[in-house]
Amino acid sequence: MTPEEEQRRLAAQRRNARVVAILLGAFVILMFAVSIAKIGMQHR
Amino acid sequence: MTTETIALPADWRDFLALTKPRVMTLVVFTGLCGMLAAPGTVNPVIGFTAILCIALGAGAAGALNQWYEADLDAKMRRTAARPLPAGRMDRQSALHFGVGLGAFSVLLMGLAANVLAAGILAVSILFYVLVYTVWLKPRTPQNIVIGGAAGAFPPLIGWAAATGGLAPLPLLLFALVFLWTPPHFWALALFVKTDYANAGIPMLPVVAGERATRTQIGLYTIPMAVAAIAPWPLKLTGAIHGAVAIVATAWFALLAVRVATRSTREGDTMRPEKQLFGFSIVYLFVLFGAVVVDRWLA
């Protein structure tokens, strides 16, 4: 693999890692919101 | 099987393309309408999560379909640019992504909504992948008739997520999508016949010929029309839905009759078939929208 190809590979990995991080963050927020909603529904 | 070495990791946009986002739009919309047409109110967070799960489940089914059909996709102009046939992704990544996303969507649906909605979601994913993609599609021209059930599950899932049960209205909405699928897909198959023939997929126009396909489009429109209008006389919906269903279905039937009664000529642009295909998508959006508007205005 040439240095340019290596750089492109690293850039693609970084892009994907950023997307996965955002999705994981969104999942944590969603699970928190679902838990709060479920607790609220039980107390109704 | 694609043996090409993939030097670069697949881009996130390729994973997104694997989920067939355009197909997902209709699935999400019918699921949302099933939920909004249900009696009572659903918690917005739970409702959002349930719709998200329907979208993720549909995406998983699309990804597994593309994983299984990568070789066929490479032979068709319409699908050759997809991530797998174009060599932008290896098959194992697509398989892992599809299985993971499918399992995640079902588990999340079970946790957020209820077991019934999660069960129907699981059945719909398995039905699309195993019954339609693996079993029916390469074997019989009836593939999209039976396989159409896979795309008909979302209104049931939406309703089940909201109520925890099922009722006649979502079952009729299921029947509508199920019976709408043959005329919708066969209209498409008429103008992309060469693509399907090249890939060896036994779509009805390839196996039984164009005449038979046109007749079947006309015939399937009859029960579809019944399923579309039935909720109104059965008093499951009101006059708004009744009026919209009658007008939209009459228009659909006119386009279907035009396709059913004509033959392809030399240099034919297949305009009536393309019009029927295009309108069939609008038709489903309009009809499901009418069910919801009717429920909320009644």
Residues of A with CB under 8 A from a CB of B: 1, 5, 8-9, 12-13, 15-16, 19, 30, 33-34, 36-38, 40-41
Q: Average pLDDT of B143-159? A: 93
Question: Band of the pLDDT at A12, cuts 50, 70, 90?
Answer: confident
Indicate the SS3 state at residue B45: helix
Integer angstrom CA distances of residue B217 from B13, B47, B138, B257? 36, 36, 21, 8
Residue in chain A nearest B45 by alpha carbon: A34
Mean pLDDT of chain B: 93
Of A13, A36, A41, the CB nearest to B9: A13
Query: Is pLDDT above 90 for B96?
Result: yes
B43: which chain A residues are within 8 Å (Cβ-Cβ)? 37, 40-41
Q: Average pLDDT of B15-42? A: 94
- Identify the residue whose tokens are 């599609």: B137
Where are chain B's structural domains? 10-165, 167-298
Query: Is pLDDT above 80 for B202?
Result: yes
Q: Average pLDDT of B202-221? A: 93
Note the Cα B84 to chain centre separation in Å.
Answer: 21
Q: Which of A26, A39, A19, A9 is nearest to B48 (CA)?
A: A26
Instruction: Give B117-134 pLDDT, tens digit per residue.
Output: 999 999 999 999 999 999
Provide the domain limits for residue A22.
1-44
Query: Is pLDDT above 50 for B1?
Result: no
Integer angstrom CA distances of residue B79 from B26, B65, B163, B181? 19, 12, 39, 20
Which comes out higher in pLDDT, residue B152 or B267? Answer: B152
Q: Average pLDDT of A3-30? A: 92
pLDDT attached to residue B7: 61
Q: Average pLDDT of B238-254? A: 98
Note the Cα B108 to chain centre separation in Å.
Answer: 22
Q: How far apart are CA B98 and CA B58, in angstroms?
A: 10
Of A24-33, B6-15, B178-187, B282-291, the least confident? B6-15
Is CATH 1.10.357.140 the classification given to domain B10-165?
Answer: yes
Residue B257 burial (10 A CB sphere; 0-12, 13-18, 19+): middle
Query: Is pLDDT above 90 for A4?
Result: no
Of A22-26, B147-151, B269-273, B287-291, the least confident? B147-151
Query: Is pLDDT above 60 for B4?
Result: no
What's the CATH number for B167-298? 1.20.120
Q: Average pLDDT of B197-207? A: 85
Could you give the angle at which helices B168-191 and B239-261 cross, rounded to 10 degrees? 30
B105: which chain A residues are within 8 Å (Cβ-Cβ)? none
B118: which chain A residues are within 8 Å (Cβ-Cβ)? none
- ipTM of the predicted structure? 0.87
Note the Cα A17 to chain centre separation in Å.
Answer: 8
With an 8 Å Cβ cutoff, is B297 touching chain A? no
pLDDT attached to residue B111: 96
Q: Which helix (H) or strand (E) holds B188?
A: helix B168-191
Beta carbons of A9 and B11 less than 8 Å apart: no
pLDDT attached to residue B6: 52
Tally of domains in chain A: 1
Query: Is pLDDT above 90 for B29?
Result: yes
